[in-house]
Amino acid sequence: MHEFIFKDNELYCENVRVADIARRVPTPFYLYSYKTLVDHYRKIKVAFDSIRPLVCFSVKSNSNIAVLRALVKNGAGLDIVSGGELYRARLTGVDPKRIVYAGVGKRRDEIEDAIRFGILFFNVESEDELEEIQKCAEKFNKKVNIAVRINPDVVPKTHAHITTGKGDTKFGLDFQTVHKIFNSKRMYPNLNIRGVHIHIGSQVLDGAPFEDAIKKVLEFLKRYKIDVDYFNIGGGLGIIYSIENPQTAKSFAKRILPMLKKSRLKIILEPGRFISGNSGILVTKVLYTKITPRNTFVIVDSGMSDLIRPSLYTAYHKIVPVMLRQDSSQAPEKVEVVGPMCESGDFLGKDRFLPLMHKGDLLAVMGAGAYGFTMSSNYNSRPRAAEAMVIKNKVYIVRSQETYKDLVRGESIPKVLKREH
Q: What is the CA radius of gyration of the chain?
A: 23
Indicate the angle between helix axes 175-183 and 208-223, nearest 10 degrees.
30
Query: Residue 98 interacts with ligand LLP (CB under 6 A)?
Result: no
Least distance CB 412 / ligand LLP (angstroms): 33
Give the nearer residue to ligand LLP in terms of CB position, either 210 or 274. 274
Contact 211, 255 (CB under 8 A): yes
CA angle 172, 173, 177 (to 5 degrees): 165
| Residue 22 or 64 having the CB closest to ligand LLP | 64
**Can 136 be counted among the known catalytic residues?**
no
Question: In the complex, what is the shortest distance from the CB of residue 20 to ligand LLP, in angstroms, rounded to a whole number?
Answer: 29
Residue 162 interacts with ligand LLP (CB under 6 A): yes or no? yes
Q: Phi and psi of 339, rounded to 5°?
A: -95, 180
Q: Which residues, numbered 370-389, are part of the site for ligand LLP (CB under 6 A)?
A: 370-371
C-beta of 207: minimal distance to ligand LLP in Å?
Answer: 14
CB count within 10 Å of CB 408 equals 11
Q: Which residues contact 11 (CB under 8 A, 6 or more apart)?
A: 4, 5, 17, 18, 19, 320, 321, 322, 323, 364
Pick from 203, 279, 284, 376 the residue near ligand LLP by CB under 6 A. 203
Nearest residue (CB) to ligand LLP, 12 versus 274: 274
377 by Cβ neighbours in 10 Å (0-12 / 13-18 / 19+) ranks as exposed
Nearer CB in complex with ligand LLP: 348/370: 370
**205 sits near ligand LLP (criterion: CB under 6 A):** no
Determine if 234 is a binding residue for ligand LLP (CB under 6 A).
yes
Residue 236 within binding range of ligand LLP, rule CB under 6 A:
yes
79 binds ligand LLP (CB under 6 A): yes
Residue whose C-alpha is closest to residue 275's, from 45, 64, 57, 73: 57
Candidates 206-214, 220-228, 230-238, 322-330 — which segment interacts with ligand LLP by CB under 6 A? Answer: 230-238
| Total number of residues shown for the chain | 421
Give percent helix, percent strand, percent coil of the chain, each to the nearest 5: 35, 25, 40
Phi, psi angle pair for 37, to nearest 5°: -55, -50
Out of 2, 45, 106, 273, point to the residue binding ligand LLP (CB under 6 A): 273
Q: Quick one: which of 121, 274, 347, 373 contacts ligand LLP (CB under 6 A)?
A: 274
Q: Please list every residue from 35 through 64 that binds ligand LLP, using CB under 6 A.
A: 58, 60-61
Report the C-alpha dihedral over residues 309, 311, 314, 318, rounded to 10 degrees: 60
| Residue choice 172, 195, 235, 246 for contact with ligand LLP (CB under 6 A) | 235
Q: Which of 270, 301, 346, 387 binds ligand LLP (CB under 6 A)?
A: 270
Number of residues that bind ligand LLP (CB under 6 A): 21
Nearest residue to 71 (alpha-carbon basis) of 418, 391, 403 = 391
Examine residue 369 and tell whether it contacts ligand LLP (CB under 6 A). Answer: no
Residue 234, phi-psi category: left (phi > 0), alpha (psi -120 to 50), beta (remainder): left
Asked if 101 interacts with ligand LLP (CB under 6 A), we say no
Q: In angstroms, rounded to a whole number, what is the distance separating the alpha carbons of residues 342 and 187?
A: 54
Q: Rounded to the nearest whole angstrom, what is the least distance from the CB of residue 371 to ligand LLP in the complex?
A: 3
**Residue 417 CB contacts under 8 Å (≥ 6 apart), including other chains:** none
Cα-based angle 72, 73, 76 (whole degrees, multiple of 5): 35
Kindly name the residue from 13, 56, 136, 342 that is annotated as catalytic.
342
230 contacts ligand LLP (rule: CB under 6 A): no
Nearest to 363 by CA among 373, 374, 372, 352: 352
Q: Which is nearer to ligand LLP, 259 or 375 (by Cβ)? A: 375
Least Cβ distance, residue 202 to ligand LLP (angstroms)? 3
Shortest distance, CB of residue 220 to ligand LLP, whole angstroms?
A: 19
What are residue 80's DSSP bridge partners? 101
The residue among 44 and 286 lying less far from ligand LLP, judged by its C-beta, is 44
Q: Measured from the CB atom, is 120 or 357 closer to ligand LLP?
A: 120
Smallest separation (angstroms) from ligand LLP to the CB of 161: 7
Active site residues: 342
Binding site residues, ligand LLP, CB under 6 A:
58, 60-61, 79, 102, 162, 199, 202-203, 234-237, 270-274, 309, 370-371
